């Protein structure tokens, strides 16, 4: 049997390794092909974790599901079948030692994502997977229902699913010779990724393949992505990184996110770990407006209550009575914030502190505790760590990753309507679904 995997990313490489390593493959002489349109495997993997690859998270498996934004239940079989411990064992056994860092994030000991790719390549070679680089899959051919020997129908979700008989072939395009060709496939695993960071090869082809096979595609959106904001004063703060701040997001007055950590001001708005997580909660809100009703609130001094902060400021004012406001507050903030804070608090920066009224001081305290920004939307796919949406999970079997519509067609990784928060959870989704698709296809 010929098992073809489209996409040499995390999910595709793992699927090919699992398919080729399955006992059934050894017994029945399955041939496994891994097709990648780039000149090398794992281009996106290479840039993960800022080049260090946060390969998974060493948390309890139950905590893993807490970090999945939607359809966590769909992942139960995949994750319990090949969990974070299994992933760690896999890489350690494949010659890539790992280490666990803050937040249970797992990285290669070498801090080089290339070592994760090399480990996978070694396994692909050891198991005799045929890797075809520079080869783009242009189209899938399915056997339509009327010609299909085993055509039938099944129910899944609300939609009545019509099952096609299966996959017959795929159309290929060799990017070096510019030649087109065709390849037979008894089983086909689509692991083409999402739409983010298009230069890594994520051009959303899998959504088209799936749609052409009759699958529903949940509309895609960039996720784990910076926010664009309305306020112009942000430009002055470009490059400023704030550690230990508290960030919350309100949508139509309802809090949808609140956490503590690090953020960054950019030329268009805000980014950094807290903001990326906040954005995933934002894009998962059905009523997300993007028209000025979403607010980002930043507490610059979360360790102090309003009263404690007021006392601290009063002390500063008492010690520096005759100094100008702008010269007193520079002990409270990083330099870039100093000219911005008086403007936001509507206090004359040149005023002597002994002339500042109680009302002004209280307004200043409120500004520090609640710096407000208007979210106008999220930035584009090219800045997004992950793509929200994709192949509807209701039309894919969670116990095998096989399509409920087309026999012999499987999906794995980001092409599915699955996304998670940062911390190694998205790669865990790719490893687990890739592994399950691989062993299922080999049966």
Ligand X SMILES: Cc1cc2nc3c(=O)[nH]c(=O)nc-3n(C[C@H](O)[C@H](O)[C@H](O)COP(=O)(O)OP(=O)(O)OC[C@H]3O[C@@H](n4cnc5c(N)ncnc54)[C@H](O)[C@@H]3O)c2cc1C
Residues in contact with ligand X by CB under 6 A are 6-12, 35-38, 43-45, 47-49, 53-54, 136-137, 191-193, 196-197, 200-203, 205, 385-386, 413-414, 424-427, 430
Q: Which is nearer to ligand X, 213 or 353 (CB)?
A: 213
Residue closer to ligand X by CB (options 162, 400) is 400
Q: Which is nearer to ligand X, 191 or 264 (CB)?
A: 191
CB of 105 to ligand X, least distance (A): 8
- Nearest approach in angstroms of CB 427 to ligand X is 3
CA 188 to chain centre: 24
The two structure tokens encoding residue 266: 């950019």
Provide the sign of the torsion angle of the four alpha carbons 118, 122, 125, 130, taken in this order: negative
CB of 52 to ligand X, least distance (A): 7
As measured in angstroms, the least distance from the Cβ of 204 to ligand X is 8
3-state secondary structure of 54: coil
Task: Output the smallest distance, CB 420 to ligand X, in A.
Answer: 8
106 and 99 in contact (C-beta within 8 Å)? yes
Q: By C-beta, is 165 or 189 nearer to ligand X?
A: 189
What is the C-alpha to C-alpha distance for residues 317 and 335, in angstroms, rounded to an integer? Answer: 19
Count Cα atoms within 13 angstroms, Cβ side, for 63.
11
Nearer to ligand X, 264 or 365 (CB): 264
Question: What ranges in 226-304 are assigned the alpha helix state H?
Answer: 273-283
Query: Pairing between strand 409-411 and 187-190?
Result: parallel
Tokens of 271: 């980014």
Q: How far is the CB of 162 from ligand X (least distance, A)?
A: 25
For ligand X, give the closer residue by CB, 8 or 438: 8
- Please report how many Cα atoms fall inside a 13 Å half-sphere around the Cα of residue 177, on the Cβ side: 8
**Of residues 213 and 294, the one with the C-beta less far from ligand X:** 213
CB of 404 to ligand X, least distance (A): 20
User: Residue 135 class from Cβ within 10 Å (0-12 exposed, 13-18 middle, 19+ buried)?
Assistant: buried
Residue 93 is inside which H or E element, if any?
helix 84-93
The residues that bridge with 410 in the sheet, in sequence order, are: 189, 402
**In the 8-state DSSP scheme, what is residue 423?**
S
Whether the Cβ atoms of residue 152 and residue 189 lie closer than 8 Å to each other: no
Question: With DSSP H G I counted as helix, E B as strand and the rest as coil, what are the percentages for the chain, rounded to 5?
Answer: 40, 30, 35
Contact 300, 367 (CB under 8 A): no
Q: Smaller CB distance to ligand X: residue 47 or 344?
A: 47
Rg (CA), the chain: 26
- Are 318 and 414 in contact, with CB atoms under 8 Å apart? no
Report, in Å, the least distance between residue 372 CB and ligand X.
29
Nearer to ligand X, 226 or 413 (CB): 413
Minimum distance from residue 97 beta carbon to ligand X (Å):
17
């Amino acid at each position: 049997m010929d098992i073809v995997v489209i996409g040499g990313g995390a999910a595709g490489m793992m699927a090919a390794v699992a398919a080729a390593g399955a006992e059934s493959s050894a017994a029945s002489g399955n041939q496994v092909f891994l097709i990648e349109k780039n000149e090398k495997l794992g281009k996106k993997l290479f840039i993960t974790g800022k080049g260090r690859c946060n390969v998974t998270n060493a948390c309890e498996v139950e905590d893993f599901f807490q970090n999945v934004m939607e359809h966590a239940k769909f992942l139960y079989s995949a994750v319990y079948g090949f969990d974070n411990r299994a992933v760690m064992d896999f890489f350690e056994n494949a010659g890539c030692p790992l280490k666990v860092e803050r937040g249970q994030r797992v990285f290669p000991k070498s801090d080089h994502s290339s070592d994760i790719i090399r480990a996978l390549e070694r396994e692909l070679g050891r198991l005799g997977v045929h890797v075809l680089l520079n080869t783009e899959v242009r189209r899938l051919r399915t056997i339509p229902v009327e010609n299909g020997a085993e055509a039938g129908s099944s129910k899944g979700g609300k939609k009545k699913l019509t099952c096609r008989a299966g996959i017959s072939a795929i159309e290929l395009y060799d990017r070096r010779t510019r030649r087109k060709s065709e390849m037979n496939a008894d089983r086909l695993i689509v692991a083409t990724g999402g739409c983010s960071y298009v230069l890594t090869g994520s051009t959303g082809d899998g959504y088209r393949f799936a749609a052409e096979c009759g699958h529903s595609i949940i509309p895609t959106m960039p996720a784990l992505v910076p926010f664009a904001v309305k306020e112009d004063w942000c430009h002055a703060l470009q490059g400023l990184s704030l550690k230990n701040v508290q960030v919350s997001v309100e949508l139509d007055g309802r809090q949808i996110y609140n956490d503590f950590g690090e953020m960054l001001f950019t030329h268009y708005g805000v980014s950094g770990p807290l903001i990326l997580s906040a954005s995933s909660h934002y894009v998962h809100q059905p009523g997300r407006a993007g028209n000025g009703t979403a607010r980002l609130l930043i507490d610059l001094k979360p360790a102090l209550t309003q009263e404690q902060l007021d006392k601290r400021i009063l002390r500063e004012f008492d010690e520096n009575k005759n100094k100008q406001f702008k010269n007193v507050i520079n002990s409270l903030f990083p330099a870039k914030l100093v000219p911005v804070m008086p403007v936001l608090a509507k206090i004359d920066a040149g005023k002597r502190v002994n002339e500042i009224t109680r009302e002004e001081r209280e307004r200043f305290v409120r500004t520090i505790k609640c710096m407000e920004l208007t979210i106008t939307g999220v930035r584009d796919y090219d800045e997004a760590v992950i793509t929200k949406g994709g192949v509807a999970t209701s039309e894919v079997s969670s116990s095998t990753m096989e399509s409920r519509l087309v026999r012999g067609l499987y999906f794995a990784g980001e092409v599915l309507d699955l996304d998670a928060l940062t911390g190694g959870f998205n790669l865990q989704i790719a490893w687990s679904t890739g592994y399950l698709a691989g062993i299922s296809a080999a049966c």
